Amino acid sequence: LRHRTGAQVYGPAGEHMPEPLQRLNDGDVIWPLGLRFEVLLVPGHTAGHIAYVGHVPDADSILFCGDTLFSAGCGRLFEGTPAQMLDSLTRLAALPDATRVCCAHEYTLGSLRFARAVEPDNEDIKAYSARAKVLCDQHLPTLPSSIGLEKAVNPFLRTHLPQVAHAVQQMAPDARDPVSVFAALRTWKDQF
pLDDT in tens, 128-173: 999 999 999 999 999 999 999 999 999 999 999 999 999 999 999 9
Per-residue pLDDT, 20? 62
Rounded to 10 degrees, the C-alpha dihedral 65/70/74/80 comes to -20
Read off the amino acid at residue 68.
T
List of the chain residues with pLDDT < 70:
20
Q: Which CATH class is domain 2-191?
A: alpha beta
Per-residue pLDDT, 25? 96
Asked if 2 and 14 touch (Cβ cutoff 8 Å), the reply is no
Per-residue pLDDT, 152? 99
Per-residue pLDDT, 74? 98
Task: Give me the phi and psi of 188, to 5 degrees please.
Answer: -60, -45
Per-residue pLDDT, 1? 72
Pairing of strands 29-30, 36-41: antiparallel
Domain residue extents for the chain: 2-191
Calpha distance 11→50 (Å, rounded): 8
Burial 90-105 (b: 16+ CB within 10 A, else e): eebbebeeebbbbbee
